Structures are given as C-alpha cells and as structure tokens.
Amino acid sequence: MAITGECFCGDIKYQIDGKLKDARSCHCSRCRKAFNSQASAYALVNSQEFSWLSGQGQLTSYIGQHGFGLQFCKKCGSTLAGVFNGDVHGVTLGCVNGDPDIEIGKHIYVGSKASWEVMPEGVVQFQQGASE
C-alpha cells in the first residue's frame, strides 16, 4: 500500500510506493530552526519510489553548501522533504498521512539539544550523528 503525504494547506501532495526507512529525530540547532520545533521527525525514502502527485509548482527549496536541502510549500510553509543533489531522500513525518508503519528509532545530536528540552527515558540517543 502506498504512503501519501501533503502540506498543511493541502496544495502539495506526494506518494511513496515503498516503505519509509531509518526514522530519526534530530535535535541540532539547525533542525530546530528548519522545523520550528525542538527536533525534526524524519525518515528516509528510496528516491525512485517517491513522486509528487500535485502542487509541484508550489514547492520551493533551500539547498545548503553540500547539496543537502529541504523542500517546502510556498503558501503554507510546511517542510515536506529532504533533498540531496536534486533527489528526494526523505520526508518529514509530520506531513505523512495515516500510519506509515514506522517508529523513530534514534535521537541524534542530543548533545546540542535546546536547554529547555527534556529527553524521555529509554530512547536511543547519540550525542552527535548516528555513526559515532
């Protein structure tokens, strides 16, 4: 069964004909700013299984210096996907419709989390990235 998602205003919709992988929550200062939250909630996708269904003209992108970036809705500001060198490599879990059959498996960059955030007991945590 396909996984679908959309932005807050509903103008942009996508579909994933596969499974989400490697869900994580990043607590770095850049993700806090990009996602307007204490952390991001994000999962990887196979770019060949991802397609935009509608509203692609409403997409805008921010691409950083190393080719990584985010795509979001020009109208409502929802962050929808992460890109690398022009290909979608992941989606924000907050914009996924229904139950995507995945759980966040790790919390990364908790060493730079906001001072006001309290991490729950028992979650897998990495002070930096997951490869430490």
Would residue 96 count as lying in a domain? Answer: yes
* Percent of the chain scoring above 70 in pLDDT: 98
Would residue 33 count as lying in a domain? Answer: no
Per this entry, what is the length of the chain? 132
* Helices and strands in the chain, H and E counts: 1, 10
DSSP character at residue 128: S
Would residue 117 count as lying in a domain? Answer: no
Count of domains observed in the chain = 1
Would residue 119 count as lying in a domain? Answer: no
Would residue 113 count as lying in a domain? Answer: no
Burial of 4 (0-12, 13-18, 19+ CB in 10 A): middle
Cα(3)–Cα(105) distance, integer angstroms: 19
Write down the pTM of the prediction.
Answer: 0.87
Phi and psi torsions of 57, nearest 5°: -70, -20
**70 is in which domain, residue-wise?**
3-24+39-102
Would residue 118 count as lying in a domain? Answer: no
Would residue 127 count as lying in a domain? Answer: no
| Banded pLDDT at 2 (limits 50, 70, 90) | very high
Residue 7: CATH number of its domain: 2.170.150.70
**pLDDT over 80 at 132, yes or no:** no
Q: What is the mean pLDDT of residues 11-27?
A: 95
Would residue 115 count as lying in a domain? Answer: no
Question: Kind and range of the H or E element at 16?
Answer: strand 13-16
| Banded pLDDT at 130 (limits 50, 70, 90) | low
Cα(40)–Cα(93) distance, integer angstroms: 9
